[in-house]
Amino acid sequence: MPLINLPDFADDLLAEFAARGTERVDTPIIQPAEPFLDMAGEDLRRRIFMTENETGASLCLRPEFTIPVCLRHIETATGTPKRYSYLGEIFRQRREGGNEFYQAGMEDLGDRDIASADARAIGDAIGILDRLVPGKALSVTLGDQAVFEAVVQALGLPSGWQKRLIHAFGNLTQLETLLARLASPQPVVGLNRHVVDFLARGDEQGLVDHIDKTMQATGYSTNASRSPLEIARRLREKLVLSTTYLDDAAFGVLEEFLSLSLPLADASSALADFADAAGLKLGAALERFDARVAALANAGVDAAQIDYGAAFGRPLDYYTGLTFEVTAQGSTEVLAGGGRFDQLLTLLGAKDHIPAVGFALWLDRIETARAA
């Protein structure tokens, strides 16, 4: 039995889902913990309620619906395109408002027309909120991780630094910390002289043999999660990253990009001007961005209520492109949030690549907005 009551607008919400041709699904409250720990992001990981079964396998109370819905889609071998909706309890550690609350949302799996599917997700979120919170003017903040990735790649940073920066996208504090390290590299400390010597000479096999002998001597090898070769390559990567320096010009380009914040109607031209001025080739990423803007206009979504933030992302590791959040104007409380997660189903075990986009609705916040 649920410990909290469904909001009084639940029937209206389910009618909205049905009108959009979705199939309502439910998933077990107890979920395997590994997918969330590996793919959901640090912010969610530290708020999960963990447990384990009689065999010692890690389990958790369902902290969100996207991963469970995708797992269910894979397990049932359902074809695509497919549109799902959900409404149920999720469990997260929160400072206030209780740890159990209802969440609803939609997941759009398998539509190959990326721009149209993105526009539909944003339009659906706005349309549903217009029904649930009538009379409230809404604001949408939109970001695009794919454009950020294109900028980072065009700057020619080592792949390790690219991964770090992309992983931090959506967490401004973490991103600023990494940029500070790029501006002022810190040397790797704590390595013994033998390891330093092997790294300096570029003697990978010598380093692997040294690590293997050390692991054997200490008895660590039987419990190690990484092989000597993996450890050696990780040490080499850390050395490369610690000596990477982003010159003032490149650092200025990255900071200029992250500072871009403007109405969506002006974003395409601003991004094109930025790329030209910086001498960066962002062709494919900008083409996809422009296609989404056009698709939003074709879908009848009012661009005047949408702002683009180059640094805007959401704190979930599985997002790959579009990210967006919807609030009531004058409020910072997020009523709906979502984005594109094209790699998630493959990571969860799908045999074929399945593009995907979706959003979640925060029903307790919507209830508060209705009361206001």
Segment 241-272, tens digit of pLDDT: 565 657 778 888 999 999 999 999 999 999 99
How far is residue 288 from each of residues 118, 185, 219, 275, 321, measured CA to CA in Å?
Answer: 11, 34, 52, 15, 10
pLDDT at 55: 87
Instruction: Evaluate whether 347 touches 39 at the Cβ level (below 8 Å).
Output: yes
pLDDT at 186: 58
Question: Which secondary structure element, helix H or strand E, spans residue 364, and what is its range?
Answer: helix 363-371
Domains and CATH numbers, the chain: 10-150+270-371 (3.30.930.10), 193-243 (no CATH)
pLDDT band at 1 (very low <50, low <70, confident <90, very high): very low
The greatest distance separating any two alpha carbons of the chain, rounded to the nearest whole angstrom, comes to 71
Mapped onto helix, strand or coil, the DSSP state of residue 355 is: coil
Residue with tokens 């050395």: 239
Pick 228 or 68 by higher pLDDT. 68
**Stretch 158-175: mean pLDDT:** 83
Annotated binding site: 64-66, 92, 103, 107, 314, 318-319
Instruction: Evaluate whether 63 touches 315 at the Cβ level (below 8 Å).
Output: no
Annotated binding site for L-histidine: 64-66, 92, 103, 107, 314, 318-319
> What is the token pair recorded at 284?
């494919």
Residue 347 scores a pLDDT above 90: yes
pLDDT band at 85 (very low <50, low <70, confident <90, very high): very high
Query: 191's torsion region: left (phi>0), alpha (psi -120 to 50) or beta?
Result: beta
The residue among 103, 145, 83, 19 whose CA lies nearest residue 361 is: 103
pLDDT at 240: 61
Residue type, 208: V
Residue type, 232: A
Residue 96 scores a pLDDT above 70: no
Residue 188 scores a pLDDT above 60: no
Contacts of 52 (CB under 8 A, 6+ apart): 58, 59
Q: 27-31, 167-171, 279-283, 347-351 — which is least confidently predicted?
A: 167-171
Of the spans 14-23, 31-40, 46-55, 180-189, which averages the highest pLDDT?
14-23
